[in-house]
Structures are given as C-alpha cells and as structure tokens.
C-alpha cells in the first residue's frame, strides 16, 4: 500500500520507507502520521502476513512472509523501516532476515517499541484478553469488572462470548479469528530472542506513562523497560547505536493526539531525511 511520496528532490528520491503494522495487524496509525511527515522518499505500508494457517509460527517465519512484498517494491537495499509498538519488533525481525541475505538496512525507526523482558509475565492468551478488555474500557464499571474477572480463567473465544451475553459487544460483531491471529503473534513475540544487529535504531519514546486497564484495576507496576528512553533495547544493542527522541504523550496519545503526532512526524522526518541513502 503506497501512502505518500513527498520529494524535495523528486528526480532522485531516497529509498522508500516501509511502515510495519502493529502487533494487532493495524496499519491505520500510519495514514494520519504520514500526512504530517515531510519525507524525501516514497512511503509504503506493509501488509500483515497471512500466518493463520501455520501452527505456532515464529517471528522469524512471520517476517520472512513480508519479504516478497518488500522485494516487489524494491528488489535490493538499502532498506528503511519504521514500526509502532510491537510492530517495531517485527520490523527488527525483517531487518534480521534481510541482513542474513547480505542486504543493507540503513534506517530503523522504533515508535515507542519496548523489547519484552524475559521471561514474560503473561501468557499470549492473557495478553490478547487484555487487548479485548482495552477495547471495552468505555463499559460501566460493573460490567467491565465482571469481564476482567472472567478473563483471568477464560479463552479468547469464551471472553468474547461472555461479552456478547452481557451486551458489551453486538451479536453480529465477531472478531474471534482476528484475536486468534493476535494471539499467535504474541506467542511468536514471546519466543523471539532479538539478536544484536549491525544497525542503528531511532527510538521515538513517549514521555508519559501509559496506564492500562490492568494497571488501574490491579495496580501493576510499570516494567523497567517502559521507564527507560531506550525501552530495553540496550540489552541487545550498544547505547551508541540507539538514538532516543522524546515525544509528548503516552504510548497511545503520542499517536492519537494531533499535537503530539505532529511532533512525532516532524522528528521522524528529520531523522529519515538525514539517514544514509
């Protein structure tokens, strides 16, 4: 999906920037962000690969499925990528795959991307149940707390069915397949061990903490990775290889609030336009 192509030097644009979907398979964040960017290259949104047919795919396998879409647009490097949230980890896995083919990755932008701590404190099913609950936060407290208690010992399908029963989700609204794919992706993330790659990373981190529904109800502490501008990536990369840029807002509002998104777009454009081509 080609999103934009602004080019002060239209006759010799830089290598394209590929945005990677989030761990929810969402590319919608890209559209508004690109409108605010001033990039001297084409910008593309990559598709979420079809990995539903594969039993427990690894993140490396998911990344390999994206390569044909990239090669169709640009057959050889250098390559440039950007990813928001856990989509940034998929971008890193894509870079790992391309580097193994002796290609060059000249730019990697992380938009508030945390390297998961090991071992993870939640199962993939619990993580996806949290995603479901986040979408139901506008519910009145009684119904929300009921679903929160139910989610602790239920499958995703059972949680969705319970939400249908109490009227939290319309009867004709069924996203079970989508959530199953998200669960597969979360499982792949848990198993992924990010290697140290010979690349530099631009980490655009949110300055405010994001307090999720789980943190409000269970008073969970914020992971150390979320309080560090490097978001834990200094565990696999040298600090000198990570360029950090603060963006106002939290993990959600840095993208959803127009004023914050404009700061992000301008900061990302500056880094992109000054990167090697």
At residue 174, the pLDDT reads 56
Mean pLDDT along residues 39-46: 92
- Using one digit for the tens of pLDDT, what is the confidence trace for 90-110? 999 999 999 999 999 999 999
Q: Which long-range contacts (CB under 8 A, 24 or more apart) does 97-104 make?
A: 97/60, 97/63, 97/64, 97/67, 98/67, 98/70, 99/197, 99/198, 99/199, 103/76, 103/77, 103/78, 103/79, 104/77, 104/78, 104/79
More confident residue, 94 or 180: 94
* pLDDT (mean) for 214-242: 72
For the segment 226-244, the average pLDDT, to the nearest whole number, is 91
* Phi-psi map region of 143: left, alpha, beta (phi>0 left; psi -120 to 50 alpha): alpha
Residue 224 has pLDDT above 70, yes or no: no
Tens of pLDDT, residue by residue over 199-208, are 999 999 999 8
pLDDT at 245: 97
pLDDT in tens, 143-158: 777 777 777 777 767 7
pLDDT per position as a tens digit, 244-265: 999 999 988 999 999 999 999 9
Longest dimension (CA), the chain: 60
């Amino acid at each position: 999906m080609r999103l934009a192509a602004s080019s002060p030097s239209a006759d010799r644009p830089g290598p394209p920037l590929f945005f990677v979907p989030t761990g929810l398979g969402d590319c919608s964040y890209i559209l508004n962000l690109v409108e605010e960017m001033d990039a001297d290259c084409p910008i593309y949104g990559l598709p979420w690969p079809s990995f539903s047919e594969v039993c427990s795919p690894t993140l490396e396998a998911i990344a390999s499925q994206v390569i044909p879409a990239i090669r169709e647009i640009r057959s050889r490097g250098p390559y440039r990528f950007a990813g928001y949230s856990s989509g940034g980890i998929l971008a890193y896995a894509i870079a790992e795959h391309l580097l193994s083919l002796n290609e060059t990755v000249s730019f990697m932008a992380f938009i508030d991307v945390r390297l998961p701590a090991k071992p993870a404190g939640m199962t993939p099913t619990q993580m996806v149940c949290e995603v479901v609950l986040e979408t139901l936060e506008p519910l009145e407290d009684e119904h929300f707390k009921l679903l929160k208690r139910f989610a602790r010992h239920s499958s995703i399908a059972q949680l969705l069915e319970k939400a249908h029963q109490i009227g939290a989700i319309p009867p004709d609204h069924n996203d079970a397949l989508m959530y199953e794919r998200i669960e597969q992706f979360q499982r792949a993330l848990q198993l992924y061990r990010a290697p140290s790659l010979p690349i530099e990373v631009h980490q655009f981190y949110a300055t405010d903490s994001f307090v999720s529904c789980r943190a409000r109800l269970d008073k969970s502490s914020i992971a150390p990775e979320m309080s560090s501008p490097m978001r834990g990536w200094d565990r696999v990369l040298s600090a000198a290889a990570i360029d950090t840029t603060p963006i106002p807002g939290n993990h959600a509002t840095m993208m959803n609030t127009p004023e914050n998104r404009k700061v992000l777009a301008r900061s990302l454009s500056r880094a992109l336009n000054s990167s090697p081509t």
